[in-house]
């Protein structure tokens, strides 16, 4: 079962110490299977993740039109005291994970009503 991700755009950001824009490594239309994938510092467009561990660290990333199937989510993020931005970023990530899990449950529930070998 493949689940679409919400479009999450954090692709460009100003470095806190400089006025430089961070460039991300882009992956497009790639399938990742049974791998640990470091999401941070990269851009993923229309990629598929199957049984992967997805690692989110404290840097920018971009996810657009991706699908997730049985993935684990590893979030390594420091929430700085008095920084509402860092809290908002974690909330957005948790919302995306919750939406993915809800879609998974809905797909599984509809698949249970389908005869074996039949495509829902």
Q: Does a structural domain hold residue 72?
A: yes
Q: Does a structural domain hold residue 27?
A: yes
Q: Does a structural domain hold residue 40?
A: yes
78 burial via Cβ count (<10 Å: 0-12, 13-18, 19+):
exposed
Mean pLDDT of the chain: 76
Q: Does a structural domain hold residue 41?
A: yes
Each residue's pLDDT tens digit in the chain (120 positions)?
444 444 443 333 333 444 456 689 999 999 999 999 999 899 999 999 999 999 988 778 898 989 888 899 998 887 878 888 888 888 888 888 888 788 777 777 877 554 443 333
Domain range for 14: 3-111
Q: Does a structural domain hold residue 120?
A: no
Query: Total domain count for the chain?
Result: 1
The residue among 110, 59, 106 whose CA lies nearest residue 86 is: 59
Q: Does a structural domain hold residue 119?
A: no
pLDDT at position 83 is 83
């Amino acid at each position: 079962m493949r689940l679409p991700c919400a479009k999450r755009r954090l692709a460009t950001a100003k470095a806190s110490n400089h006025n430089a824009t961070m460039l991300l490594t882009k992956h497009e239309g790639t399938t990742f299977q049974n791998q640990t994938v470091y999401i941070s510092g990269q851009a993923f467009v229309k990629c598929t993740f199957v049984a992967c561990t997805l690692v989110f660290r404290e840097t920018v990333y971009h996810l657009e039109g991706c699908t997730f199937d049985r993935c684990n989510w590893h979030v390594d993020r420091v929430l700085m005291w008095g920084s509402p931005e860092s809290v908002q970023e974690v909330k957005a990530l948790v919302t995306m994970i919750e939406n993915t899990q809800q879609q998974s449950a809905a797909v599984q529930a509809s698949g249970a009503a389908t005869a074996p070998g039949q495509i829902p």
